[in-house]
Amino acid sequence: MKAPDGNKLAILNALNQGGFVSGQVLGEQLGISRAAVSKHIQTLQDMGLDIFKVTGKGYSLNNAVGLLNQADITKHYHASGANTAQVEVHPIIDSTNSELMRRIQNKVALESGTVVVAEMQQAGRGRRGRVWQSPFGANLYYSYFWRLDDGLQAAMGVSIAVGLAVYDAIKALYDIDIELKWPNDIYINKQKLAGVLVELDGQPQGPCQLVIGIGINLHMPQNTSEQIDQAWTDLSQHTTALDKNQLVASLTFYLEQRLADYQQDGLNSMYAQWNALNAFAGECVELNTGHRSWRGICEGIDQHGGIRIRQDGEVKSYYGGEISLRKAEL
């Protein structure tokens, strides 16, 4: 599927102003028939945009979607006092993480701080091969390249630092209190707002390259939300001040801060704060590897990013990106 261009993009920009726009007006503005307008609207709906029609009024976009703009992102980013990241904006892509991983595998020179964002992903993915719903313009699809010289073992707790960077950005912009779920989810009131996917390439003892993927729900369309099999929320339910370009800039700024701290001192200065934001602190949880599962009381994380689980009076730490955690059903 191609990104909206030409007439489709013009229709999207007209609807993005808010209110209703008739097919006749759109047709006159673009010099096309109402039937052609209807066909373009259908294509935009197929991309996941929540456009509805009311007889006698015309078409309306259920949620105005601020489109990504590289110049606006750069302006907000520089206003924060930072200048090291390079942000690329793509209208449509298979996956922002896959794009950066391909460049690594093809030996393309990459600088730490290379950011890829997109309006839509055709093959968005989460941990353990799950599909990440990625309709056009509705949410934030973001990946950040980072080089770490200390080996794969040193990267074990990166997702903890990344979760805190998402917390920093959302708290700074919207003053919303979020919760963190080990190892890589961001919640509001026990509903999933965002997820992190960290992918690695490198040697156990040598330099490694990381692609840090972050997906944040902004304006989840109704037709997409029906395909999600867990409790979820989006930022539009908690704030009216959404500016996607400002969010990209803020997220990049705070991610750089947290990664610099992590490179210097690991999680020593972060794990206590993460524990204060732990979504399942003191609750009975279930860990699952796909082959076995076990239950215990969630005691937060240790200084290496492992999840601490109390079983039969004994606390053990568990590590590994292929372990999932959820609240136990009693």
Active site residues: 127, 192, 326
Q: Reply yes or no: is the peptide bond before residue 183 cis, omega within 30 of 0.
A: yes
Cα 108 to Cα 103, 114, 154, 258, 325, distances in angstroms = 5, 12, 24, 26, 36
C-alpha–C-alpha distance, residues 311 and 301, integer Å: 15
Inter-residue contact 103 to 115 (CB < 8 Å)? no
**How long is the chain?**
330
C-alpha–C-alpha distance, residues 196 and 198, integer Å: 6
Nearest Cα neighbor of 47 from 134, 127, 109 is 134
C-alpha–C-alpha distance, residues 27 and 7, integer Å: 10
